[in-house]
Structure 1
């Protein structure tokens, strides 16, 4: 079963903090202790920026022309995240 984006982010934060993602803390996987931080970040970036909207709209239009709604959603998500990351540079 694939990991959710929230779990992947928590595991990444755990690793970034210098902990192996599969180490346990108080009987639970250590990465789970990073879930509150991940949820806080996701809530903080919930609203889009103009660059994200433009990137998402472009991806949707391009993929809808091909009749692939799942591909459009995936492309939209990735392009919007890429736009958000580019704004931070």
Structure 2
């Protein structure tokens, strides 16, 4: 299961819907698929880590040359492409 699907399923479930429900109102697809756009928006928003997130990596990993930022962004980009 991709991060995009996991996020969409979580949003769907959070609003009280069964992610695995299939119905005519969503063209015969699982209900979670109607949340993919919202999940994509969340992942895109998370593409920029907070200063606290970067500082935590810098403290633990001992590098601050932008590597953490690049790695984070590449992982988010890959999650968006994978979906």
Which consecutive residues of structure 2, in runs of 5 or more, have no partner in the other structure? 63-71, 73-83
Length, aligned pairs only: 62
How far did residue 59 of structure 1 move? 4.1
Q: Note if 1:35 corresponds to 2:36.
A: yes
Q: TM-score, normalised by structure 1?
A: 0.59
Which consecutive residues of structure 1, in runs of 5 or more, have no partner in the other structure? 62-76, 78-89
RMSD: 2.2
Q: Deviations over 1:30-72 (max 9, x none)?
A: 10110000111111121111101012234434xxxxxxxxxxx
More strand by share: 1
Higher RCO, 1 vs 2 (CA within 8 Å, ≥6 residues apart): 2
Q: TM-score, normalised by structure 2?
A: 0.63
Aligned to 2:61, what secondary structure does the other structure show? helix
Equivalent in the alignment of 1:5: 3
